[in-house]
Amino acid sequence: MRAARLMRLVLLLQSRGSMTGGELAQELEVSERTVSRDVLALSEAGVPVYADRGRTGGYRLVGGYRTRLTGLGRAEAAALFLSGVPSALAGMGLADAGAAARLKVAAALLPELRDAPEDTAQRFHLDAPGWWQEPVTPELLPEVAAAVWDDRRIAARYVRDGSEVARELEPHGLVLKAGVWYVAARAAGRFRVYRVDRFAAVTAGPERFVRDADFDLSAFWAERAAAFARSILRDRVVVRLSEAGARWLPQVTDRAAAGEALAAAGPPDARGRVTVSLAVESLEVAYAQLLGLGPEAEVLEPPELRKRCAEAAERSAALYGRAPGAEQDSADAR
């Protein structure tokens, strides 16, 4: 632990030039007294650390000294590629590895390029969770992530349909989708997707499994995501759309389903309206989605959905057909 801290101290000075004891203590999460002891130990080991006294003083390396301890470890290299997603790093237990990787890269850069990481961070940020969602890190994510990095088999208890089932898994990859973590794992010779927040227990075994050389996480996820999106579209509705409704349809329903429906639609009628057959998750979901198009969409089939939308339109017309507050004024008068 101390050796890693000493290395970080040297790399900090190498990348930043000069730092005060307080700044080093904050970066290393130790006391200033510990920093003083660490600097003394480095000096005794032959590392030329010089202390400038006074209010503007600090620590620096003498004579352009550069350490060669900049080789990235496996976890650090993996963390470096995820450094634009700090919440993902923290969730997988790789925050420290990510910080060490960035520090090593900064120390290896030429002096005129050392501001590149900060400069890039000011120009790009990935916010993975969706809007109106509070991101929650699954409790067992670090254990699952460790198994993924080390190719370890895991014995897991997975909650499905309200009950726990035992699974022996070979986790090949993790996916963060709109703030939800999934693991792609091989079980009984087949690849499946599991939500990490549904694991009740995870135990990594001592043995490493042999990864499938043909497994492509990105391609696998794209295929499964598309298949899942298609599988939940179990109902179909017929809708007549204005030009505006046709433009807005992909914004309120499944984008792929809307694209397919519009592509298969016939020519517009004399009023510029097109009739589409749209795949939807359910009539309940379709009701909520299509109401968002207001008068730009007219449901034709099925009859029960058309009736429900018509009733909603009548209620809306009644609401907007009177002056604001008229209903409350009438109730107060009674």
Residues 234 and 230: their CA atoms lie apart, in Å, by: 8
What is residue 87's predicted lDDT score, i.e. its pLDDT? 59
User: Would you say 104 and 11 are in contact if contact means Cβ atoms under 8 Å apart?
Assistant: yes
Token pair belonging to 247:
């433009």
Beta bridge partners of 235: 280
Residue % of the chain over a pLDDT of 90:
41
Residues 274 and 269: their CA atoms lie apart, in Å, by: 7
Residues 57 and 153: their CA atoms lie apart, in Å, by: 52
Q: Residue 222, SS3?
A: helix
Mean pLDDT of all residues belonging to the chain: 82
What residue ranges of the chain have pLDDT lower than 50?
Answer: 331
What is residue 89's predicted lDDT score, i.e. its pLDDT? 62
Residues 245 and 239: their CA atoms lie apart, in Å, by: 10
User: Would you say 186 and 154 are in contact if contact means Cβ atoms under 8 Å apart?
Assistant: no
Residues 98 and 173: their CA atoms lie apart, in Å, by: 19
Compute the C-alpha angle 224/230/234, nearest 5°.
140
Q: Residue 182, SS3?
A: strand
pLDDT tens column, 97-155 = 667 766 666 666 556 555 555 555 555 555 666 666 666 778 899 999 899 989 999 99
Q: Which amino acid is at 71?
A: G
Peptide bond preceding 302: is omega within 30 degrees of 0, i.e. cis? yes
What is residue 6's predicted lDDT score, i.e. its pLDDT? 85
Beta bridge partners of 8: none
What is residue 334's predicted lDDT score, i.e. its pLDDT? 52
Token pair belonging to 169:
């898994």
Token pair belonging to 188:
């009984």
What is residue 109's predicted lDDT score, i.e. its pLDDT? 55
What is residue 236's predicted lDDT score, i.e. its pLDDT? 94
Name residues whose C-beta falls within 8 Å of residue 198's C-beta, 6 or more positions apart in sequence.
158, 159, 160
What is residue 102's predicted lDDT score, i.e. its pLDDT? 65
Residues 252 and 244: their CA atoms lie apart, in Å, by: 13
Residues 199 and 81: their CA atoms lie apart, in Å, by: 26
What is residue 79's predicted lDDT score, i.e. its pLDDT? 55
